[in-house]
Amino acid sequence: MTKTYTQLPHEQRYQIYAHLIAGHNQSEIAHNTRVHKSTISRELRRDRELKGYRPKQAHELA
């Protein structure tokens, strides 16, 4: 059985950003956005080189 992967839509990236600004940790963000913790971790790591997490740039890098 093969797994299929989909990119996060803009809306979810902005939700992640809002939760980060609110001070939530990765587990809380994953629970609130219904996305796996590893997805949140990869998403935040993808955009780490810029000045903090920025949803627009993260989407462009995806």
End-to-end CA distance of the chain: 25
pLDDT(5) > 80: no
Express each pLDDT in 10-60 by its tens digit: 899 999 999 999 999 999 999 999 999 999 999 888 766 656 777 777 777
Position 27 scores a pLDDT of 97
Other Cβ atoms closer than 10 A to 35: 16
Q: Which residue has the higher pLDDT, 54 or 9?
A: 9
> Where in the chain are the domains?
10-61
Is 70 exceeded by the pLDDT of residue 1? no
State phi, psi for 51 to the nearest 5 degrees.
-80, 75
Q: CA-to-CA distance for 42 and 14, rounded, in angstroms?
A: 15
| pLDDT at res. 50 | 59
